[in-house]
Chain A
């Protein structure tokens, strides 16, 4: 390799070589290892002089990048089509819409009560008041602030948390016995008033 070729490389990297010579030299460098090595070493000197204190000195990174790219599948740069450019926001919208749909669907499933099994109706004691309409949600044992069912009103959440601390043994009444006792009581009251 002549000194003239090397001087041309030096001029080329500074933008001081005529167009035609530059193109010719670029082509030659791609097949001539010695020329390529000079290009790399001249740039290493540049790197050393431009190196900032925190950065390591970079040494022929091009070879390792090309090696890595070659080990991957395609060497052709990836052409992003014009179609992709306007498809991108559409794809984003589609993903957002489907997430919202799934969220709504799941939420509704949690809220709905299966209609096949109607809730049994029991007589209650005065303390037990009534079951809330969706009494199956009683299984939630979280304080109202951290509930998984934010749609329930705070009163119902409070009720649930209080009820969960009490034993939930339903009390059954013999309605006929009560009716008999009530009749007896009425008769007694009537007799008393007649006397």
Chain B
């Protein structure tokens, strides 16, 4: 059991592997890394910034900084601890820069009130983006809601409570292979539900281009 555990690529090792590849300039590895931590970074930024559009912009900025600073990451701390610091600093800097920008911008009272002229005071997504994001969230929520109870419990214990497969097996009183299978089936169900939606979106993007 112990030798099996040692043989596994832990999440920390997985991050280290992706970081090493990204350092060599393999962008697809960096893309996998970004998608792995995107939500946790957005959650951190949302502690400082309330506007959802701005949170996405700052998250993008954080990962660009992360890429540029990758050679400085030596793996002493976990990758998440490292990007957490970058996310906090970038959010604070964004707030400072924004307050300076607003101080230096003269806005007519009527304009500021009606949000007509100043882009800093309003952040609007295109209707398409808002619709597609809303649709995606709805589809995912529905897909999670209709999951069989044992799959739902297994995926929540893993993703929300952060338990390992061993711990979930103990908690659900079932073999570890069953846990593995339940978690995969839950993920696959969501994947199947999202695929048509994302394919449509890709088609739409290509059509627009």
**Chain A residues at the B interface, C-beta cutoff of 8 Å:** 3, 6-7, 10-19, 22-23, 26, 29-31, 36-52, 54-66, 68-70, 75-80
Contacts and interface: CB of A to CB of B under 8 A. Distances in A.
A7 B184 contact: yes
B134 to A, nearest CB: 10
Given A41-B194, A62-B63, A75-B27, 9 more contacts: A14-B158, A15-B14, A16-B8, A37-B198, A38-B191, A50-B43, A62-B32, A64-B60, A80-B72
Interface of B: 7-14, 17-18, 21-23, 25-36, 38-43, 45-47, 50, 52, 55-56, 59-60, 63-64, 67-72, 133, 136-137, 140-141, 144, 155-156, 158-160, 164-165, 180-181, 183-184, 186-188, 190-191, 194-195, 198
Contact of A69 (B14, B27, B158): B27
B71 A80 contact: yes
Nearest to B183: A10
B64 A68 contact: yes
A68 B38 contact: no
Contacts of B35: 39-40, 43, 60-62
B55 A11 contact: no
A55 B43 contact: yes
Most buried by B among A15, A60, A77, A79: A77
B7 A19 contact: yes
B180 A55 contact: no
Contacts of B12: 15
A22 B34 contact: no
B18 A79 contact: no
Given A50-B39, A58-B56, A18 B7 contact: yes
Given A50-B43, A55-B46, A22 B180 contact: no
Given A26-B18, A61-B34, A51 B39 contact: yes
A49 B159 contact: yes
B42 A55 contact: yes
A12 to B, nearest CB: 7
A78 B21 contact: no
Nearest to A58: B38
A145 B195 CA distance: 72
23 contacts: A3-B188, A12-B9, A13-B11, A16-B165, A18-B8, A19-B8, A22-B14, A26-B17, A26-B32, A29-B28, A30-B26, A30-B32, A38-B191, A41-B191, A41-B198, A45-B187, A48-B137, A60-B35, A62-B34, A62-B35, A69-B27, A78-B69, A78-B71
Contacts of B71: 77-80
A81 to B, nearest CB: 10
A26 B46 contact: no
Nearest to B201: A59
Contacts of B188: 3, 6, 10
A45 B28 contact: no
B28 A36 contact: yes
Contacts of A57: 39, 133, 136-137, 140
